[in-house]
Chains A and B, each alone.
Chain A
């Protein structure tokens, strides 16, 4: 694959992942400027990284992981905190914006979940990463990711069912 192909691939990647990554990072840092820097840095590293074979099949999770680690580093520095402890202490910010929280019954239930569950939920359903990718990203085991997700869905089951019913009101007339 020539350098022109790599350029095209890189452009496409930036365009398509810039927003999801920034939104993801922002949820960890809750401030725009450092979030933007983190996302920028992850792309800088991506460009330098030599991926074997086809560029198209690069690990998307890799970018998430870089962003996550950089963001946590920033939090660590700011709070002078040891991250070996529980994530809940650092990732205090809710995974949804206030406006969405107000308008969405589902989200009001989502924020009641543990921070770990929330993170796994977002990575799976919004960012569409696989269990394996999420595991690699968060440092959890694949089966732990599965359990977290399963529990989260269980907790949300009722509210989503109600919501889906609301979306199809006159069906049984």
Chain B
């Protein structure tokens, strides 16, 4: 240790504790003593390293929080000051509900109007009634649950050893608790939220798949989808006490949010596929067919070059946005290998590089760059994306993971905001093996459709982070899944055998369907699958014996009838999979058939039963015809019976969501 550092004043100097004039004097004194600038800087860096390291270490202990009821007591002064306390709440309640209901009826009206133009009259009034009912319900029921829930969320974050401060997890828990109704003014903020849901949040219109006649279309073709954002988004709505907008629910993303314990046969390909069946719980006599895909785990962790493109616009200035994002990055930093690199680019008005590619071992440098980030200004996503891809190219790791990670609430409001232009650029870069991951944060401003399209075109994935435990899932448990692509442009084509199958319906994947001819077209983009990821697709299959009013296609006058290749086959269907290696341009194909067998009981297969309950939940929320004979109670029962070990409490949380939805739907 250099002798000049023996002076306590030096420590104070390094920690920025000296006044400006003292600082200059002290510095001048050191230089006069013949100590060089470099020596001083080196020692200052040491002390700052110590500071960061100690702070980090001490924070690991920050596990205590006030019990919810104690916190409520603390916040009571706010309630008693509240204007609503001056009146009798009971007397005013009906008026209140009416006032709240008006805008809701209006927005409900709008949504329905878009939804089904033909049913305007009936629809509106039904909808309005049920919404008023819901509002009455809402002020009471979910509050307790939301509170309890929020707490357990906080605990989970702790359990998974988020050594970052649990402030954020409980911070969002806290905001939930407020929303849940600790003071009465929640009602109007709730309406604002609902309004935002309809107004500001952009969801693309998703129409459910319908039954398809095998005679007319024997081939069902779609791209896989490993995104999970829709689930987290649905969860956010339910926990805040409102039903998610129908079009925000993508059933396949709900199903694929959960890890499944699947026993796969050995495969020579980087992905293995399993096809099996059970009786359908939705219609008696029909079958449920599962196409399950699992990607192998590579033996060695791939080297990573990650460029974070961070939205620091004014709209990110909320506990569940920028601060949560920072904590998420700290989690990630702990998971990276020392030689992996991280770069930071921010955008808000003007885009700028905050951190050039820096190896993860340089924690202090990365952390201090992170700590300097502040939200302010408006968003120009376009310029930022360009800068980020440039950096990704600079630090390119051959054969490794090269990714731009866009973290935003999605409000691209200045500059090259045209979806098309951005999408083209992202697509272009994917060809150079720089992939895009999109992380959605926050609420209200959230542009879901846009973000999903960007990540799809960028050979990437898309996750929605709303609290620390979700950040843990994405950056810790699922890191390799989300970052290391094992196969790209993965397409599935299922051929149904008309000898056994009259019609089929694919559950979910509505915006992932492809034309049959696209399956063999290597130029057609499709989904990626990451290390260890599982992807599940469910079909409901209608046998030939059932009487079903399907639109019949007339026999062809000139051409021959469709000839079945393998007439005596005992296969119900044949699954074909096409994929490319991460750097590849040409695809490989393999096939897995499903033999005809007596239908097995659904409850005999735990993982399938759980996937079915998730699918049913999503469809029920979308008011899908298929689930009209199934109640939330049934769905809950299935989920409960298939919970299994559930180490991360993901399935347990799902059961809670069913309860929220049940109380809201009443």
B73 at the interface (CB under 8 A from A): yes
Q: Given A11-B178, A131-B12, A23–B63 Cβ distance below 8 Å?
A: yes
A157 to B1, CA, bound (A): 9
B171 at the interface (CB under 8 A from A): yes
B519-547 contacts to A (CB < 8 Å): none
When C-beta atoms are compared, the residue in chain B nearest to A42 turns out to be B74
A16 at the interface (CB under 8 A from B): yes
**What A residues does B60 contact at CB under 8 A?**
100, 104
Stretch at the interface among A52-60, A77-85, A164-172: A164-172
A7 to B75, CA, bound (A): 9
**What B residues does A26 contact at CB under 8 A?**
64
Q: Give me 14 A-to-B residue pairs in the complex whose CB atoms sit less than 8 angstroms apart, sorted by A's number.
A: A11-B75, A15-B171, A15-B319, A18-B74, A19-B170, A124-B51, A126-B55, A126-B59, A128-B55, A146-B9, A146-B17, A153-B50, A164-B49, A167-B361
**Interface residues in chain A, defined as those with a beta carbon under 8 Å from any beta carbon in chain B:** 3, 7, 10-11, 14-16, 18-20, 22-23, 26, 32, 35-36, 39-40, 43-44, 47, 96-97, 100, 104, 106-107, 110, 121-122, 124-126, 128, 130-131, 143, 146-147, 149-151, 153-154, 156-157, 160-161, 163-164, 167-171
A100 to B1, CA, bound (A): 28
**What B residues does A147 contact at CB under 8 A?**
8
Dominant SS among interface residues on chain A: helix
B187 at the interface (CB under 8 A from A): no
**What A residues does B78 contact at CB under 8 A?**
7, 10-11
**What B residues does A151 contact at CB under 8 A?**
8
When C-beta atoms are compared, the residue in chain A nearest to B5 turns out to be A154
B1-33 contacts to A (CB < 8 Å): 1, 6-12, 15, 17
Q: Are A15 and B174 interface neighbours, CB within 8 A?
A: yes
| A to B contact number (C-beta, < 8 Å) | 134
**What B residues does A40 contact at CB under 8 A?**
66, 70, 73-74
A40 to B73, CA, bound (A): 8
Q: Are B8 and A150 interface neighbours, CB within 8 A?
A: yes
A161 to B55, CA, bound (A): 15
Since A19-B62, A107-B57 are in contact, a sample of 17 more A-B pairs with Cβ atoms closer than 8 Å, ordered by chain A residue number, is A10-B78, A11-B178, A15-B175, A20-B62, A22-B66, A23-B62, A96-B58, A106-B54, A124-B51, A126-B55, A146-B12, A149-B11, A150-B11, A153-B11, A153-B50, A156-B54, A167-B338
Q: Which 6 A-B pairs have the closest CB atoms?
A: A126-B58, A150-B8, A168-B361, A150-B11, A125-B54, A43-B74
A124 to B67, CA, bound (A): 27
A110 to B57, CA, bound (A): 11
Q: Are A157 and B55 interface neighbours, CB within 8 A?
A: no
Q: Are B338 and A170 interface neighbours, CB within 8 A?
A: yes
B55-90 contacts to A (CB < 8 Å): 55, 57-67, 70-71, 73-75, 77-78, 81
Q: Are B167 and A19 interface neighbours, CB within 8 A?
A: yes
**What A residues does B70 contact at CB under 8 A?**
36, 40
Q: Are A47 and B77 interface neighbours, CB within 8 A?
A: yes
**What A residues does B339 contact at CB under 8 A?**
170
**What A residues does B57 contact at CB under 8 A?**
100, 104, 106-107
**What B residues does A23 contact at CB under 8 A?**
61-64
A161 to B51, CA, bound (A): 12
